[in-house]
């Protein structure tokens, strides 16, 4: 009987320790007004599209470029790019529903097709008939869907470590298709787990976001505490955690026809991307006729954050803006017919 009592004491101690640990990790939602006040900028606008109040940031003037962020991210991923592109173009970045300051969609429209439709509806509402389009990660898949649905509206396409490539069929030594779940980033596996996901709704530790950024950057020394804080706090925006779980549980619902992608296309990839293998870059290059591929050595999943100057200069060159050694010289532009 004594050993049973001892065992019960040990179990009770473990249970109390677990409860105490979870209490330490408990994080309540950050109210909408508070998070907007902290992370909106003078260039921020909130535009209602199909019942969702989208956070959109405009910088510059001229031919428009729409910038689409990836999963777990926000329009802030384009901060440096918007500053560099805005002297030449009208840049439009947007927080997709369930992300950033936009927050959740009551109708849970979080699929790739849903996101592509909201981008097209936003362009319609802004009276932008044609535009350049750039997307990273999940945002690349959204850009692909937009370009496939309305190729007549997309002047050019820039895919940065993009999902949405034609499916590869890896095989084991026995010749059977291998499971792809084990190769998924751990953050997706944790968020999709029915037990851990319920815990994460209320107990969301900041260190997970630091670990996540270490996985998506090729050079960890370039990760700033400011970025970790921003990713963490925007996830705590009221409703975003539940929206993230709803999005991951829902269907992707994409229907990309690569034969319709006849616009000029630039594919950019970090060679050290551990989220989406560089093999996907070559698959996209093969699938999209006359596309141009640039690989960045030593770089991870988000080149626009990790090496913003080098990556945006490649994009500017693709768009016909000469990156000059002598900044007193006039830039040269490529003409796009509207």
Token pair listed for 299: 């770089």
Domain membership flag for residue 231: yes
**Residues 84, 266, 87: CA angle, nearest 5 degrees:** 20
Domain membership flag for residue 56: yes
- Please provide the DSSP assignment of 243-287 as one string: HHHHHHHS-------GGG--S-EEEEEETT-SSS-HHHHHHHHHH
**Positive or negative, the Cα torsion across 149, 164, 120, 51?**
positive
Domain membership flag for residue 174: no
- Please provide the DSSP assignment of 106-142 as one string: TT---SHHHHHHHHHHHHHHTT--SEEEEEETHHHHH
Local confidence pLDDT in tens for the 338 residues of the chain: 565 555 555 544 444 333 333 333 445 889 999 999 999 999 999 999 999 999 999 999 999 999 999 999 999 999 999 999 999 999 999 999 999 999 999 999 999 999 999 999 999 999 999 999 999 999 999 999 999 999 999 999 999 999 999 986 554 333 333 334 445 665 555 556 665 555 565 658 888 889 999 999 999 999 999 999 999 999 999 999 999 989 988 887 889 999 999 999 999 999 999 999 999 999 999 999 999 999 999 999 999 999 999 999 999 999 999 765 454 555 454 444 44
Domain membership flag for residue 199: yes
Domain membership flag for residue 172: no
Domain membership flag for residue 225: yes
Domain membership flag for residue 224: yes
Query: What CATH number is given to the structural domain containing 311?
Result: 3.40.50.1820
Full-model pTM: 0.84
Q: Is the distance from CB of 156 to CB of 288 less than 8 angstroms?
A: no
Domain membership flag for residue 188: no
Domain count, the chain: 1
What is the distance, to the nearest Å, from the Cα of residue 178 to the centroid of all Cα atoms in its chain?
Answer: 26
Range of the domain at 71: 32-165+194-319
* Region for residue 72 given its phi and psi (left: phi exceeds 0; alpha: psi -120 to 50; beta: otherwise): left
């Amino acid at each position: 009987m004594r050993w049973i009592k001892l065992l019960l004491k040990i179990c009770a101690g473990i249970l109390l320790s677990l409860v105490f640990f979870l209490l330490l990790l408990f994080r309540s939602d950050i109210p909408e007004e508070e998070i907007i006040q902290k992370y909106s900028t003078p260039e921020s606008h909130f535009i209602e599209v199909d019942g969702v109040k989208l956070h959109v940031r405009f910088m510059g003037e001229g031919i428009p470029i729409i910038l689409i962020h990836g999963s777990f991210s926000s329009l802030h991923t384009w901060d440096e790019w918007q500053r560099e592109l805005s002297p030449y173009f009208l840049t439009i970045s947007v927080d997709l529903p369930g992300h950033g300051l936009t927050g959740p969609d009551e109708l849970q429209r979080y699929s790739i097709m849903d996101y592509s439709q909201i981008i097209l509806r936003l362009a319609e509402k802004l009276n932008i008939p044609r535009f350049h389009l750039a997307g990273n990660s999940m945002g690349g898949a959204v850009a692909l869907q937009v370009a496939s649905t309305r190729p007549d509206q997309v002047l050019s396409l820039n895919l940065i470590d993009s999902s949405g490539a034609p499916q590869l069929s890896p095989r084991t030594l026995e010749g059977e298709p291998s499971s792809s779940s084990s190769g998924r980033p751990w953050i997706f596996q944790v968020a999709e787990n029915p037990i851990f996901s319920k815990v994460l709704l209320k107990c969301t530790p900041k260190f997970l976001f630091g670990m996540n950024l270490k996985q998506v950057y090729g050079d960890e020394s370039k990760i700033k505490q400011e970025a970790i804080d921003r990713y963490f706090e925007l996830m705590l925006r009221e409703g975003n955690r539940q929206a993230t779980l709803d999005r991951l549980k829902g269907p992707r619902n994409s229907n990309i026809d690569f034969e319709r992608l006849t616009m000029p296309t630039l594919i950019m990839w970090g060679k050290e991307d551990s989220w989406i293998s560089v093999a996907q870059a070559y698959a996209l290059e093969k699938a999209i006729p006359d596309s141009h591929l640039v690989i960045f050595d030593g770089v991870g999943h988000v080149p626009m954050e990790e090496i913003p100057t080098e990556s945006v200069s490649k994009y500017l060159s693709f768009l016909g803006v000469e990156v000059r050694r002598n900044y007193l010289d006039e830039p040269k532009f490529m003409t796009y017919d509207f």
